Amino acid sequence: MKITPLHHIPMRPEFRSPFSAGYIVEGGRLLFFSGCGPVPIYHTHPHDPVEERRWLDGSFRDQCERTFDNMRIILSAAGADWSSVLKLNIYLTDMTHQNTLNEISAANFGRDNPPARTLVMVPELAHRRMLLEIEGVVALPAAAKS
Amino acid sequence: MKITPLHHIPMRPEFRSPFSAGYIVEGGRLLFFSGCGPVPIYHTHPHDPVEERRWLDGSFRDQCERTFDNMRIILSAAGADWSSVLKLNIYLTDMTHQNTLNEISAANFGRDNPPARTLVMVPELAHRRMLLEIEGVVALPAAAKS
Amino acid sequence: MKITPLHHIPMRPEFRSPFSAGYIVEGGRLLFFSGCGPVPIYHTHPHDPVEERRWLDGSFRDQCERTFDNMRIILSAAGADWSSVLKLNIYLTDMTHQNTLNEISAANFGRDNPPARTLVMVPELAHRRMLLEIEGVVALPAAAKS
């Protein structure tokens, strides 16, 4: 498996770009992971309003850090880490949170070759009061002997 | 081609989780399919308001079942079935429909290893009165002799 | 690398379909590129309101053409062209722009085998007054000697 960040021009440090222009992958395995938020990845359906209230306490920063914790749990279960992430799709219910998101993202992904990324606002997520959701594609080393 | 659902913890039956935490694929081919709704996959552009009115009749349940029918048509054209679906992105214009969606999803994908998934609300889709759209990534067996 | 458009039925010319039902890829490399808009791909974070005002001038058509220019820059940096694009996700802040989008899309991708596509409306993108964002997945020929 080989992954390569794509920079159409050098990423100048003063840009503090939270994303690379693209990411290229060859060989190995791909992991598509589900949209993660601050709630436990597996939880009761239909949603339990009492659990939801407890889980969705706190500021955007709290929710964002718990979302990154959940992504870390998934990466770790797949034997991967932050450096294997090719692409993220991030959904915010309020775009004014983007700078906090970018700060937490940089703390995890660093500044040099962060994943490719799309960031959009949506009016609502699957849990009311959930402020963000992040899904992604990850490269893993080959497992099969072929 | 080998696909493996990723569960970071066992999916307890009482969760009735409509998604797996992730899906891993190795080898074979990947199919990226277009966002499907209850309207015929190929249709006139610009959209014909008379056709749209006819197609977008009915409840969310009707629209959701026709959307799954359209996904089945695409899977079938590619020689695949529900078990080959790695990831879905689902867009609802009203999040109160999520339990109906999850019920129809479980009827097609089962409860054990449903695809990875992201579910978000959007204010509008390409057809006014279209209540959902679903796109996805699918694993197919290798075709080329290599 | 082999890519094949998937048409579940023939795409009749009068449909002027801006998307193929799906796209299948086998072998080679995959490029996941970041959401592109009319602003320079790499830019200062937090966003500079003065730069933003200058970049986000103009009509939807202007913004859309600059967005396609940015996608062309990324494709070109990866050694690819329009014919290598498998899938696009397009986010519009106003769905009434979809016919202009489809016209510009057809001018670049042609009418026969455009990429698979999902098109949704979102209330806001990362830059206020940015009217669209497009991300995608691209197939590239194998690079590694394996």
Q: Is B44 on the interface with C (CB under 8 A)?
A: yes
C31 vs A137: CB contact, 8 Å cut-off?
A: no
* Residue B124 CB contacts under 8 Å (≥ 6 apart), including other chains: B93, C95, C120, C121
The confidence score (pLDDT) of residue B20 equals 98
Tokens encoding B126:
């390409």
pLDDT of residue C65 exceeding 70, the answer is yes
pLDDT of residue C124 exceeding 70, the answer is yes
Best to test chain C binding among B26, B30, B31, B34 (most C CBs inside 10 Å)? B34
DSSP A17: -
Please name the amino acid found at residue A134: I
The distance of A91 to chain C (nearest Cα, Å) reads 10
B12 vs A142: CB contact, 8 Å cut-off?
A: no
A17 vs C73: CB contact, 8 Å cut-off?
A: no
Kindly write down the DSSP assignment for every residue of chain B, as one continuous string: -EEEEE-SS---GGG--SS-SEEEEESSEEEEEEEE-SS-SS--SS--HHHHHHHT-S-HHHHHHHHHHHHHHHHHHTT--GGGEEEEEEEES-GGGHHHHHHHHHHHH-SSSPPEEEEEE-S-BSSTT--EEEEEEEEE---S--
pLDDT band at A144 (very low <50, low <70, confident <90, very high): low
Q: Could you tell me if A36 and A88 are in contact, meaning their C-beta atoms sit under 8 angstroms apart?
A: no
pLDDT of residue C89 exceeding 80, the answer is yes
For residues C124-141, give the mean pLDDT. Answer: 97
pTM of the model: 0.97
pLDDT in tens, A38-74: 999 999 999 999 999 999 989 999 999 999 999 999 9
C-alpha pair distances (Å), B12 with each of A41, A45, B111, B118: 12, 11, 10, 20
pLDDT in tens, A101-139: 999 999 999 999 999 999 999 999 999 999 999 999 999
pLDDT of residue A4 exceeding 90, the answer is yes
- CB nearest B86 (choices: A32, A45, A143): A32
